[in-house]
Amino acid sequence: MADQTRPYAIHSDSECDRLERQAALAGLEHHLRHVPVPEAAYILDAGCGSGAMTRCFGSRYADASVIGVDIRDDYVSYAQGRANEDGLKNVEFRQGSVFNLPFANASFDVVWSKYVMQWIDEPKRAVAEFRRVTKPGGVVVCCNFDGFAVTHYPEDEALQRQILTVFPRLVDVYIGRKTAPIFHTCGLINISVVFEPDSLFTTVGSIDPERRENWVVQLAAARPYIELRHSILFVGGSPEISRLECPVRIKNGPTRTSRSDRRAPPKGVLPLAILRVDKSNFGCR
Ligand SMILES: C[S@@+](CC[C@H](N)C(=O)[O-])C[C@H]1O[C@@H](n2cnc3c(N)ncnc32)[C@H](O)[C@@H]1O
């Protein structure tokens, strides 16, 4: 994993199960309308995680050959196991990095990559690889967030400061808006951009149990990074706003609670509050 400069901070032993639940919540079939797939296409899912989208392509396009690549061996094994369970014969998985894809030039009609560019420090290098392995006339489609976790209303100044300290160090929270310029720099042509409202992390009013759990699992996994680097300060929040209870050990640094948080947290356990996160999915091809 030498070239994965930004650690995948939300990794845990149950990350693939979480990615599967997240994919089910997202409704992957909706993505397919953004991806023109020719007959008997060769399709790459770069940074495939649990392989949910790889399988989605495989089951929708029976005449296609679909390959999922991920940097983590354990995710690749998980993804292959799920595809085998589904009896998908046209889907396979390989370990590999988006910086050095294990394929010849011009191998694929379609390269798909979702929620990966935010995790890597050199997205241009990855897109240059996507271009290299795409056939002339093929398409590269990336699906990224813009403003991940950093936009909410009403704004709590202290919380906002904390969020802006932590999240941009974990991921590139503004990778969405950078995607088209990166494509342009890498020499891709006929670039189009589709904005979609996010239905996974955006919450207006109270959050449902599945989406809440999706936040909790990721933040719990990322806790060592957050503690180590920043002494997370996601404390408080308005009572009417969804609250994520997640044990966070504060190693050092000051802690704060918002004025509106009147419940005393149990000792050593701080409530994490995610305010109404608002962001867009940013599709680009
Ligand atoms: C948020 S997950 C998204 C997985 C999948 N695309 C999805 O939408 O469910 C990001 C994935 O990118 C993978 N990844 C991170 N850096 C990578 C790299 N350099 N090369 C290949 N995969 C990478 C991680 O292992 C993880 O599976």
Whether 147 and 206 have beta carbons less than 8 Å apart is answered as: no
Query: Does the beta carbon of 20 lie inside 6 Å of ligand 1?
Result: no
Tell how far the Cα of 99 is from the centroid of ligand 1, in angstroms: 12
In the prediction, which pLDDT does 44 show?
A: 98
Pocket test for ligand 1, best of 22, 70, 175 (most atoms within 8 A of CB): 70
Tell how far the Cα of 47 is from the centroid of ligand 1, in angstroms: 4
Query: Does the beta carbon of 71 lie inside 6 Å of ligand 1?
Result: yes
pLDDT tens digits, 27-41:
999 999 999 999 999
Mean pLDDT within 6-28: 94
Tell how far the Cα of 48 is from the centroid of ligand 1, in angstroms: 6
Work out the mean pLDDT of the chain and round it to a whole number: 80
Q: Whose CA is nearest to atom 14 of ligand 1?
A: 47
Tell which atom from ligand 1 comes closest to the C-alpha of 1.
Answer: 19
Q: Strand, helix or coil at 120?
A: coil
* 15-148+172-202+280-284 topology per CATH: Rossmann fold (3.40.50)
Q: How far apart are CA 52 and CA 184, in angstroms?
A: 28
Query: Does the beta carbon of 246 lie inside 6 Å of ligand 1?
Result: no
Q: How far apart are CA 277 and CA 219, in angstroms?
A: 15
pLDDT tens digits, 94-105:
999 999 999 999
Q: How far apart are CA 187 and CA 216, in angstroms?
A: 39
What residue segments make up the domains of the chain, in order of their start? 15-148+172-202+280-284
Cα–Cα distances in angstroms (integers) from residue 167 to residues 174, 203, 258, in the given order: 11, 18, 19
Q: How far apart are CA 252 and CA 4, in angstroms?
A: 28
**Token pair listed for 225:** 């990074």
In the prediction, which pLDDT does 212 show?
A: 87
**Token pair listed for 240:** 């009417």
Tell which atom from ligand 1 comes closest to the C-alpha of 49.
Answer: 27
- pTM value? 0.83
Tell which atom from ligand 1 comes closest to the C-alpha of 4.
Answer: 19
**Each residue of 81-102: b (16+ CB within 10 Å) or e?**
ebbeeeebebbbbbebbbbebe
Query: Does the beta carbon of 163 lie inside 6 Å of ligand 1?
Result: no
Q: Which is higher by pLDDT, 274 or 84?
A: 84
